[in-house]
Amino acid sequence: MAPKKKTSPLILKKEDIPNFVSKLTQILTVYGPVAKKSQFIFDTITDGTQLRLDYDTTILPPKKYFIPPEEEMVKFSLKPELKIQNPLDEKNTESLWNGKRFLIFGIHSCDLTAIKFHDHILTQVYPDPYRAQRRDEGIIIGVNCLTPCEDGFCKSAGALNTTETADLMLTELNNSYYVDVLTTIGKEIVDYCKTQFSSATQQQVNQVKKIIAHRAKSFPDPLKEFQKLPGQLEDSYEGEMWNRLGRRCFGCGACTMVCPTCFCFDVKDQIELDTTKGSRVRKWDSCQLVDFALVAGGHNFRPTIPSRVRYRIYHKFWIEPEQINQIGCVGCGRCTHTCPADIDMIELLTEIEKGGN
Ligand code: SF4
Ligand code: SF4
């Protein structure tokens, strides 16, 4: 992760964004939000005009660039002798200009908070060198969300104001973006495209302060006791609510696949039919799927849907705070938006706040 470096704020005109992005694509692989039918996804940007900084939320979070849905951990060949190739041996962080680093443009504060969450849990509790390498290779331009999205509760989750983990942070200001330069890498990016930036005036600094203060008041805050949820869950383990939820849930796992904080995976060895070579691959997995807790001998620790629904909530709101003192939910609302059974995270957590019976 890049060291922090605070410099004076800058202004980037909206009309200059396509040129700025196109210039970045000459030295970096650039990802950002683009339209996909009526929704948005993070995708590769080849032309700056594709970028949609007015997006509300994306189907999948930008987590997919740090922990890909499917990733080769090692390649091996068995003949004429055992040879192992590990992608961790090819580290690419020394220079911006070697053409191998990537930049994600336009990440909202909820997803910046989720990246911070992974920075903690995937170094302190479950060190993940593959994710750490991608994190070092990635550069982040955040954008302040000024309009609440439909199912989100980022303010309740304490994720509304996060800028940590971004190298540059943008705030929409009339026909421009106000740019906070937060790290040395952010400064290098600005220097690389310096003709497109101008210094922010004191009036613009004051305007942005007002915009952020107004946002703090205007965003919904439906879960006033969010930080107390770990304690409240202690009394809810045997509650009937898990059976009620279990009767509605299909056990499809979609809620975990779209979640920016979920990080479970499964590992499989794939060997060519002629047994001369193969690879070890990890793929996203979900605690909501029936075989997630199935072990050798046929025992399943969570064979029923209610037990899996309860596990998901306890893991995010009780186990993870015990491990790193941070709740594993940033209030992005993607699980609610995606759930085919209409299970709403705000309603579920409100029920726990009320006693969870
Ligand atoms: S649990 Fe739901 S609301 Fe919370 S971070 Fe995951 S997808 Fe977003
Ligand atoms: S998306 Fe909804 S139905 Fe599917 S596993 Fe999650 S809670 Fe259950």
246 & 158 share domain: no
pLDDT value for 6: 59
Pocket test for ligand 1, best of 261, 337, 342, 344 (most atoms within 8 A of CB): 261
Q: How many angstroms separate the alpha carbon of residue 347 from the centre of ligand 1?
A: 13
Whether residues 196 and 283 share a domain: the answer is no
Number of domains the chain contains: 2
> Is 335 touching ligand 1 by the criterion CB < 6 Å?
yes
Q: Tell me what the mean pLDDT of segment 62-84 comes to.
A: 92
CA dist list (Å): 202 to 181, 207, 278: 16, 9, 60
pLDDT class of 136 with cuts at 50, 70, 90: very high
Instruction: Report the nearest atom of ligand 2 relative to the CA of 254.
Output: 1
| pTM summary value | 0.94
Secondary structure class of 140 (helix, strand, coil) = strand
Residue nearest ligand 1's atom 1 by CA: 329
What is the arithmetic mean of pLDDT over 82-111? 82
Domain-located, residue 93: yes
Q: Mean pLDDT throughout 26-31?
A: 94
Q: What pLDDT, on a 0 to 100 scale, did the predictor assign at position 109?
A: 98
301 assigned to some structural domain? yes
Q: Atom 5 in ligand 1: which residue has the minimum CA distance?
A: 329
Please give the average per-residue pLDDT across 316-321, as a whole number: 97
Q: Is residue 4 part of a domain?
A: no
Is residue 92 predicted with pLDDT exceeding 70?
Answer: no
Beta strands in the chain (DSSP E): 10-13, 29-36, 39-44, 70-77, 83-85, 102-107, 138-143, 168-173, 176-181, 197-199, 265-271, 277-284
Ligand 2 mean position, distance from CA 253 (Å):
6
Whether residue 254 sits in one domain with residue 201: no
Residue 127's CB is within 10 A of a number of other CB atoms, namely 10
Kindly state whether residues 34 and 171 are assigned to the same domain. yes
**Is the pLDDT score of 5 beyond 60?**
no
Last-in-domain residue among 189, 218, 247: 218
* Rounded average pLDDT over 115-131: 96
Identify the pLDDT of residue 87: 80
Distance 154 CA to ligand 1 centre (A): 10
Share of the chain above pLDDT 90, in %: 87
42 in a domain, yes or no?
yes
Cα–Cα distance measured from residue 17 to residue 53, given in angstroms and rounded to the nearest whole number: 10
The answer to whether residues 255 and 144 belong to one domain is no
pLDDT for 135: 95
Binning pLDDT at 50, 70 and 90, where does residue 357 land? confident
Is the same domain home to 202 and 290?
Answer: no
Amino acid letter, 36 = K
Query: What separation in Å is there between the alpha carbon of 335 and the centre of ligand 2?
Result: 8
Residue 63 lies in a domain: yes
Same domain (yes/no): 51, 87: yes
Lowest mean pLDDT across 40-44, 80-84, 267-271, 348-352: 80-84
What is the 245 CA–ligand 2 centroid distance (Å)?
A: 10
Chain segment 273-311, per-residue pLDDT in tens? 888 899 999 999 999 999 999 999 999 999 999 999 999
CA of 55 from ligand 2 middle (Å) equals 24
Query: Residue range 149-164: average pLDDT?
Result: 96
| pLDDT of 94 strictly over 90 | no
80: preceding bond cis by omega (within 30 degrees): yes
Please check the confidence at residue 261 and state whether its pLDDT lies above 90. Answer: yes
* Binding site membership of 181 for ligand 1 (Cβ less than 6 Å): no
Full residue range of the structural domain in which residue 314 is found: 226-353
In this structure, is residue 104 part of a structural domain? yes
Domain boundary residue among 172, 202, 218? 218
Examine the fold and report which residue of 161, 189, 218 is the final residue of a domain before the chain moves on: 218
Ligand 2 contacts CB of residue 341 (under 6 A): yes
Instruction: Flag whether 243 is in a domain.
Output: yes
CA of 333 to the centre of ligand 2 (A): 13
One domain, residues 198 and 233:
no
- Is a pLDDT exceeding 60 seen at residue 1? no
**What is the pLDDT of the chain when averaged over all its residues?**
94
Q: Closest Cα to atom 2, ligand 2: which residue?
A: 339
Shared domain for 16 and 130, answered yes or no, is: yes
Whether residues 201 and 117 share a domain: the answer is yes
**Based on the domain organization, do 128 and 185 belong to the same domain?**
yes
- Indicate which residue's Cα is closest to atom 7 of ligand 2: 249
pLDDT of 38 > 90? The answer is yes
Q: Is pLDDT of 93 > 70?
A: no
Please check whether residues 117 and 166 belong to one and the same domain. yes
2 belongs to a structural domain = no
Check pocket membership of 332 for ligand 1, CB cut-off 6 A.
yes
Cβ–ligand 1 distance for 10 under 6 Å, the answer no
Residue 275: phi, psi to the nearest 5?
Answer: 60, 20
pLDDT at 78: 85
Q: Cα(320)–Cα(307) distance, rounded to whole angstroms?
A: 18
Q: Does the beta carbon of 62 sit less than 6 angstroms from any atom of ligand 2?
A: no
E strand or H helix at 323, and its extent?
Answer: helix 320-324
